[in-house]
Structure 1
């Protein structure tokens, strides 16, 4: 198979965590199994490189996007398009984290591209899930990334995860099947013979220093042992992060009496060779996460034959079966402390755990061909229906403008085969048009005129707007082929070359003042008459968007420019928000207007955090949190 793997992270090449370690090993295993493999990663190099006999190309984020994550996803999509023109790909894999596959998956769903390619999203833990466990209060930029991640996981061809725990969370969230596919094992050689334990005991943690990893719970479990004069050192290996306005390292020290600070060594990040040495010298390793997917560091420790204490919440419950480690509830300090004391003082137990870990890890080996066969078997059936049996056409309504532009605009539109009719509101001027195009003069406002449109789809072109005609053609094709959509819209390119990109998910998000850049094509049959109280001069599609939002109908962003040089009047949008606030609140959309950001015109309307947590938290994760508080006397 021809396989393309996309990942910002790539161990040994770019800044990398667990995703980068997985990608490098997975690509190597696939190549050794005889598959053609290529990696796309984030980097500044204009030319690619080779690593482990696998070609690597580098991609930079498109600077026209305000959001780096979206700019990178679009640049990646364009790179994949270029590569596909010279070589077909059977499988393209993206991580769930930061939604790298967002535009590529959207292009397959809406534009029909990559029709013969399987698009896989593999679960490592999305930013949204990490932030939720880390108690991160999301800024608007992070909320936008959450939306991209959800879209990619909802509409990819195959969604996979290495652990049953993460698969169940995603199944609850997206109401779709999630395949469990294991990760490849690290190619490290195990330590020979039984481990000799000399000198003061050393307990090692490997991973980022962040709240979800449970290092604060680890210190809480170590404290009573140190207070009882038990002699051991704790080494924390990994990058520091921020938590509650300070570094997490500082937060950890503030929770520990100063007389024990010398028992804790903050090692920081280390390279792979040095990490192997730390494993070799450790008396035991500990991974006390509040939730963990399928940690590569645990696989490494198992491979090396190091005794392991691991959290039962997530993938390590599966990894450490058959006595391969001590599973603990990290929230329950007494039992956690006992586990640490036992593994550091009982040599026979430590050797038994090490041998069991080395035996167990062999059973976790992922066979590349078996994984690929499982993915291919999971592929959904080809979308039925396709292009309708009759040509579907577009009605174009042109708003009046002063003294230039319309004749040229009308002539350009009339030359398009997909245009059914052209209506000009309050602008009686006749032109010579092709026979298939109907010309109508309308004295009413544009959206009232739309009710009598002849075409299957309708678009209103505002004063002085410079439309991309290829967007209109693609919009007609998309709506014809994707019947569940009521409207599609593109992004707007400003005079400064910046792209203003409306969000997906639902039209209420497009209505947010700083997001109300939607210029789209609408399915005629879902249009409703505009509100009678609409002030003069508002954006022409405001009432259409209100109508679609209230009906719960879907609209999506097409990955292309719809209008160039558009300017939005935030005052008018703010006025419309005020007039419709009660209506939106009554319809269950009140969370969108519950919290305002004073730095934005009329307030950037964000989902209320507390309601958002209750609404978005996957039910199974909530159940696990409740279970923590009950088991073994744990505190909540």
Structure 2
């Protein structure tokens, strides 16, 4: 079995946490790695902005990354935009034809990749599997900022959904969004939760971890990991620290960088809050780092805060739980799939600084309760593995390959 994986704007080799890079990069790399280890050969196709030549790298046995040149329509930035997709799709098809490799299916990640995969499906007559990662209608429903291509994205998401032979949903809420907001056929939707690599995300002593990151005192550490943007609630994490410090000493570590249409604005809010409340010694901002290094920060932290407006899944919460660090997260989206409220973490319904601070204080003030939740969090995380996700995807590929007729659509991207 051989799978073509389209990850147009987010190379699995990029460091998550800033720009366009985040959980999707981790998803693509981890899932394809475990597919390859299960005997499924995978070719990942990603765009290489401004380059003149294709670059192919063997990541491990059975897994290749092909970075294909795309010429920018504007000054070269950190990521390709929508206008580069036709050229990128040309490059993908050219590579496939030139290599004479027969692919069983194409797996698109995110709507931009879906537009390119749509073309691949029809040119090569192979099934198309889609993971949207986020959905524009769901973001709108949760109050996310709308940019100038929001309507275009909704239109394309609907077309991609209509042409997909299977759609992977990471949790119950994402599946419900697909059904209710996009009227997706129920038989197309397959639940495929994300996973963690226990070789990295496992419990360990906090003392050495704190020392490794430069905080070897006893002041509680609240950790925020992810892109800095209003949808992720970075400024809300800082306001939560302000509330918490009314009752006890605490510090906040933010690991990530600005991202999205309001990333720089949210970063400015964070800096303004730090200055307003005199938090220079209490808030530390760390640049994005390789995914595996995050485990040290998770183990060093007392609590991981995930104050997102919503998440399709909630990979940061799962990674923290894997390290035995309790999570306080918004009661929304895929975070409900990951966090068992009151058992393996705390879900906050009222998305206000005081509510998050109260939840964190309830853990820090009760060491017995804290230790029990830490142990339960780690145990719950053990059921989420990338190997299991890969096995489930193999079953999906086998099913769509065996269908006599591919799902057809009214028009092609």
Does residue 37 of structure 1 match 2:42? yes
Q: Could you tell me which residue of structure 2 aligns to residue 328 of structure 1?
A: 348
Number of residue pairs the alignment of both structures matches: 384
Which residue of 2 is the match for residue 51 of structure 1? 59
Q: Which residue in the other structure is 1:217 paired with? A: 236
Q: 2:107 aligns with which of 84, 93, 111?
A: 93
Task: Look up the match of 1:540.
Answer: none
3-state secondary structure, aligned to 1:48: strand
Query: Partners in 2 of 1:251 and 1:191 — Cα distance?
Result: 34
Name the structure 2 match of 1:68.
81
Structure 1 alignment gaps of length 5 or more: 387-481, 486-555, 560-636
The answer as to 2:374 corresponding to 1:364 is: no
For residue 358 of structure 1, report the CA deviation from its aligned partner.
Answer: 1.4
Tell me the residue number matched to 1:11: 12
Q: 1:76 to 1:343 in 2, by over 3 A?
A: farther
Change (3 A) 1:374 1:81: same
Q: 1:195 to 1:39 in 2, by over 3 A?
A: same
TM-score by length of 2: 0.81
Change (3 A) 1:34 1:149: same
Cα distance in 1 for partners of 2:267, 2:142 equals 18
What's the CA shift for 1:258? 1.9
Shift of 1:232: 0.3
Quickly say closer, same or farther: Cα 1:172–1:9, change in 2 above 3 A.
same
Larger Rg: 1
Q: Once the 2 structures are TM-superposed, how far is the Cα of residue 202 of structure 1 from its aligned partner?
A: 0.7
Q: Say which structure, 1 or 2, has more relative contact order (CA 8 Å, 6+ apart).
A: 2
Q: Tell me, what secondary structure is at the counterpart of 2:124?
A: coil
Tell me by how many angstroms 1:83 deviates. 0.9
Contact kept? 1:203, 1:233, Cα under 8 Å: yes
The 5 A counterparts of 1:53-452 are 53=61, 54-61=63-70, 68-84=81-97, 86-97=100-111, 99-106=112-119, 108=121, 112-115=122-125, 117-126=126-135, 129-130=138-139, 133=142, 135-139=144-148, 141-176=149-184, 177=186, 178-191=189-202, 195=206, 199-228=218-247, 230-241=248-259, 247-255=265-273, 258-262=276-280, 263-321=282-340, 323-365=343-385, 366-377=388-399, 382=404
Q: 1:155 to 1:64 in 2, by over 3 A?
A: same
Q: For structure 2, which runs of at least 5 residues remain unmatched after alignment?
A: 211-216
User: CA 1:332/1:294 → structure 2, altered by over 3 Å: closer, same or farther?
Assistant: same
Report the Cα distance in structure 1 between the residues aligned to 2:274 and 2:72, rounded to whole angstroms. Answer: 44
Q: Alpha carbon RMSD of aligned pairs, Å?
A: 3.2
SS of the aligned residue for 1:285 comes to: strand
* Secondary structure, aligned partner of 2:294: helix
How far apart are the structure 1 equivalents of 2:275 and 2:361?
20
Distance 1:241 1:39, change over 3 A: closer
What is the alpha-carbon distance in structure 2 between the residues aligned to residue 376 and residue 167 of structure 1? 21
Deviation at 1:381, TM superposition (A): 5.7
The normalised TM-score by structure 1 is: 0.55
Contact 2:110 2:132 in 1 (8 A): yes
**CA 1:33–1:60 in structure 2 vs 1: closer, same or farther (change >3 Å)?**
same
Indicate if the aligned counterparts of 2:202 and 2:378 stay in contact, CA closer than 8 A: no
Moved over 6 A (4+): 64-67, 242-245
How far does residue 169 in structure 1 lie from its aligned partner after superposition?
0.7
User: 1:591 maps to what in 2?
Assistant: none
